[in-house]
Amino acid sequence: MLMKYIATIIIAMSLLSSGAAEACVGRILQIGALDTADGRFMGEALAVMITERTGTIVHTNYFESSDALYTAVSEGKVGILVENTTTAMHRLGKETPADVNEAYVQAKKLYRKELNLVWLDPFNFTNNEQDGKQSRTATLVSQEVMQDFPGLPRLLNKLAKRVTDKDYIAMVETVKSGTSARSTAMQFLNTKKLI
């Protein structure tokens, strides 16, 4: 009788421990990016940095259009992406303020309220749009990912501070020349001592 009791406890404990293990396994982050040279570079830079610094498994998903990317975000298939303020305000049906910092503030506020996405610190470079206007770019993280990975913003904000206009242009041109986005991102992150 005692042996049966002990066996039951051992089985119960093994089931509980395997359940706990499964709860830690499968914590995979999904990054979404446009299938362009700059999209691939930024997506891989985020993915490599997260994996190298935290050991978290990261999948990078590429999309043909901004609409397809945001559909994946709304369906919970993507939790991290990179966006610029001009595209963001256009998506919300709002006019983009001429001042890049004001545009960032407005996009940050509206995206959190309407799309459940949190804007991290802007990158240390500005995009030049077709009409000549400058645009702020930043990493966006879903509220759900923020809750599951509370240390992620601090990590990714380190990357934001290190990408200058010169770096960004050089890395995108490297990808356009045929070098893989992942190896380009790894070289950049190593050079900046981020991994």
Q: What is the pLDDT of residues 144-180, one digit of tens each?
A: 999 999 999 999 999 998 988 899 999 999 999 999 9
- Rounded to 5 degrees, what angle do the CA atoms 98, 102, 104 make? 105
Q: In this structure, is residue 79 part of a structural domain? A: yes
State the residue range of the domain holding 53: 30-191
Q: In this structure, is residue 7 part of a structural domain? A: no
Q: In this structure, is residue 49 part of a structural domain? A: yes
Q: In this structure, is residue 112 part of a structural domain? A: yes
Query: Tell me, what CATH number does 82's domain have?
Result: 3.40.190.10
Q: What is the pLDDT of residues 12-26, one digit of tens each?
A: 333 333 333 222 335
CB 167 within 8 A of CB 38: no
| Mean predicted confidence (pLDDT) in 32-53 | 95
| Mean predicted confidence (pLDDT) in 97-113 | 94
Q: In this structure, is residue 12 part of a structural domain? A: no
Q: In this structure, is residue 178 part of a structural domain? A: yes
The CA-based diameter of the chain, rounded to the nearest angstrom, is 82
Average pLDDT of the residues of the chain? 85
Instruction: Report d(CA 194, CA 192) in Å as an integer.
Output: 5
Tokens at residue 194, please?
Answer: 């981020």
Count of domains for the chain = 1
Q: In this structure, is residue 2 part of a structural domain? A: no
pTM of the model: 0.82
Q: In this structure, is residue 14 part of a structural domain? A: no
Q: What is the pLDDT of residues 67-81, one digit of tens each?
A: 999 999 999 999 999
Tokens at residue 28, please?
Answer: 């995979």
Instruction: Report d(CA 175, CA 117) in Å as an integer.
Output: 28
167 by Cβ neighbours in 10 Å (0-12 / 13-18 / 19+) ranks as middle
